[in-house]
Structure 1
Amino acid sequence: MPQKSEQPSFAEILRGTERSAVHLEMRDAYGDNERFAAWRRGHRTDWSDRATWWRGFHEEVAGAVARGVVIRRARVVSEPVSEYVRWEHDVTRANVGAGEHVRWLPRRSASDLALPGNDYWLFDDRLARIHHFAGDGSLVDDEFSTDPTLLKLLASSFEAVWERAIPHEKYSV
């Protein structure tokens, strides 16, 4: 059974990561946020003005990548995609710019995959940060686990999605 513990920040965990960090996302929408709301009102990112879109998260990712950590994100999405996923696809350019490798898997291509019930990060195959969301997509809680059986399941499910998923630059929404 997964165990709860003190919750280190994402930045703290990533700074201690040596080889790899993978993130599996399986929701078609997450809680509302100001950036998504602005996008819905027609605001688009000015990619030539890095100061307007580069955030602390991107700095942490870029730093880890510079140390040799491979960071991969896979998103399982319904098609046609939700408005939220269209926004995510648009702003994923920032993740890629920070050094993440991102792929998208249409949900219909995942029907025969055994996937966990929650989104998660997996760091060096040694620590899982499992996200628990409310029905409206807002984050309720993060759970941490070092259980070897769970880590193995999460690693294999991510790799199964990654193998089938479409690289960000080739996926259209």
Structure 2
Amino acid sequence: MPLSVPTWPELLGSATGSAVHLEMRDSYAVDYETGPFAEWRAGFRHDPADRESWWRPWLDLIQGTVGRGVAVRRARIVSEPVSEYTRFLYDGTFTNIAAGELVRWLPRRQASDIALPGNDFWLIDGRLIRWNHFTGEGASAGGEMSEDPAAVKLCADAFEAVWERAIPHDNYKIS
């Protein structure tokens, strides 16, 4: 029986020790006309001193999750030279870090020998996967939940292999 897909507050609220996220795409739902990416392209940059202007309510959720003692780690596998969208993500990652996430970057060519799942995912407490499905254009195509032990092991092993090789955000320089 398929598991229902919880809301993000429900999913992260269920975490007691860890929540890890692996991102493997070079762009996600790029809107060149409106929204944060378009604003960034026009020169907008988040002001580190103006936390209220950052990505809400997501960062509040991350801050609350970390505040409960949950380690939240995000790893991004990226092509180099990086895409314009990856530059946008990179420029805003300081907000994730300020909320308490640990973020690392792995150049795609260094991931060639890692067994990776076919989709981005969140793994909660090493037991529950939320697969993130996307269209070819990067728009969300919904999520899917799994507790399948083989899939959990694949995701856990893949994430840890990526994390071990990946470069902490403060040390990663985009090309």
TM-score range, shorter-chain basis?
A: over 0.9
Partner in structure 2 of residue 18 of structure 1: 16
Segments of structure 2 that go 5 or more residues without pairing to the other structure are: none
Segments of structure 1 that go 5 or more residues without pairing to the other structure are: none
Aligned ranges for residues 20-169 of structure 1 at < 5 Å?
A: 20-33=18-31, 34-169=35-170
Given the two structures, how large is their TM-score scaled by the length of structure 1?
Answer: 0.96
Query: Which aligned runs of 4 or more in structure 1 are off by greater than 6 angstroms?
Result: none
Given the two structures, how large is their TM-score scaled by the length of structure 2?
Answer: 0.95
In the alignment of these two chains, the number of paired residues is 171
CA–CA distance in structure 2, aligned partners of residues 41 and 143 of structure 1: 35
Displacement of 1:48 in angstroms is 1.2
Using the aligned pairs only, state the percent identity.
Answer: 55
Displacement of 1:32 in angstroms is 2.0
Displacement of 1:5 in angstroms is 2.6
Amino acid at match of 2:149: P
1:11 is paired with a residue of what secondary structure?
helix
Amino acid at match of 1:122: L
RMSD: 1.0
CA–CA distance in structure 2, aligned partners of residues 26 and 137 of structure 1: 11
